[in-house]
Amino acid sequence: MFPGAADEREGTDAADTGRGGDTDTRGREPDRGGANFVVVGAPLDATTTFQPGTRFGPRRIRSFAEPFDDYDHRTDQCFSDLGVVDRGDVRAWDDIAEYLEYLTSALREAVWDDSVPLLLGGEHTVSLAGVRAVEPEVFVCLDAHLDLYDAYDGNPLSHAAVTRRILEDVDSVEEVVLLGARTGSEAEWERAAHDDVTVVPPEDVADWSPGDRLADREVYLSVDIDAADPGYAPGTGTMEPFGLEPCELRDVVRAVAPSAGGFDVVEVNDRDDGQAAGLAAKLVREFVFSHADG
Amino acid sequence: MAKQQTEVRDLQEGSYVMIDDAACKINAYSTAKPGKHGSAKARVEAEGVFDGKKRSLSQPVDAKIWVPIIERKNGQVVSVDGDDMQVMDLETYETITMRIPDDADVSPDENIEYLEMEDQRKIV
Q: Please report the pLDDT score of residue A16 as a whole number.
A: 37
Q: Do B43 and A102 touch (CB under 8 A)?
A: yes
- Residue A145 has a pLDDT of 98
Q: From the centroid of its chain, how far is CA A286?
A: 13
CB contact under 8 A, B30 and A108: no
Q: What is the DSSP string of chain A?
A: --TTSEE-PBP-SS---SSTT-B--TT----GGG-SEEEEEE---SS--SS--GGGHHHHHHHHTTTS-SEETTTTEEGGGS-EEEEEE----S-HHHHHHHHHHHHHHHHHTT-EEEEEESSGGGHHHHHHHH--SEEEEE-SB----S-BTTBTTSGGGHHHHHHHH-TT--EEEEES--B--HHHHHHHTSTTEEEE-HHHHTT---TTTTTTS-EEEEEEGGGB-TTT---BSS--SS-B-HHHHHHHHHHHGGGEEEEEEE-B-SSSSSHHHHHHHHHHHHHHHHHHH-
Share of chain A above pLDDT 70, in %: 91
- Tell me how close the Cα of A73 comes to any Cα of chain B, in angstroms: 38
pLDDT over threshold 60, residue A29:
no
Contact B74, B91 (CB under 8 A): yes
Q: What is the pTM of this model?
A: 0.86
Residue of B nearest to A33 (CA): B55
Instruction: Tell me the mean pLDDT in the region A119-144.
Output: 98
**Beta-carbon separation of A108 and B35 below 8 A:** no
Q: Name every chain A residue with its beta carbon within 8 A of the beta carbon of B48.
A: none
List the single residue in B with minimal CA-CA distance to A99.
Answer: B32
Name the minimum distance, in Å, from the CA of A162 to any CA of chain B: 21
Chain B residues with CB under 8 Å of A13 CB are 35, 37-39, 60
CA distance B19 to A134: 22
Rounded to the nearest 10 degrees, the angle between the axes of helix A96-112 and helix A127-134 is: 40
pLDDT value at residue B101? 82
Q: Residue range A13-24: average pLDDT?
A: 35
Asked whether the beta carbons of residue A14 and residue B63 sit closer than 8 angstroms, the reply is yes
pLDDT band at A10 (very low <50, low <70, confident <90, very high): low
pLDDT band at A30 (very low <50, low <70, confident <90, very high): very low
Question: Over chain B (124 residues), what is each successive 10-residue block's mean pLDDT?
Answer: 88 94 94 76 93 91 92 93 91 91 85 89 86
Q: Read off the pLDDT of residues A208-230 as tens digits, 9 standing for 90 and up.
A: 999 899 999 999 999 999 999 99
- Closest by CA to A193, choosing from A249, A224, A148, A159, is A148
pLDDT at A7: 86
Specify the pLDDT at position A14.
32
DSSP state of B82: T
pLDDT tens, position by position, A232-267? 999 999 999 999 999 999 999 999 999 999 999 999
- The pLDDT score that the predictor gives to residue A34 is 63
Residues in chain A: 294
* pLDDT, tens only, A57-94: 999 999 999 999 999 999 999 999 999 999 999 999 98
Q: What is the mean pLDDT of chain A?
A: 91
Nearest CA in chain B to A109: B56
In this complex, which of A22, A90, A112 lies closest to B32 when CB atoms are compared?
A: A90
* Listed residue (A173, A154, A172) closest to A163, CA to CA: A173
* A188-211 mean pLDDT: 97
**How many other C-beta atoms are found inside a 10 Å radius of the C-beta of residue A83?**
17
Helix, strand and coil percent figures for chain B, each rounded to 5 = 0, 60, 40
Our CA-based measurement puts residue A10 at a distance from the nearest CA of chain B, in whole angstroms, of 9
What is the pLDDT at residue B105? Answer: 83
Q: Which phi and psi (to 5°) does residue A242 adopt?
A: 65, 45
Could you tell me which residues come within 8 angstroms of residue A187 by beta carbon, excluding any fewer than 6 positions away? A148, A149, A150
> Is residue A279 packed enough to be buried (19+ CB in 10 Å), middle (13-18) or exposed (0-12)?
buried
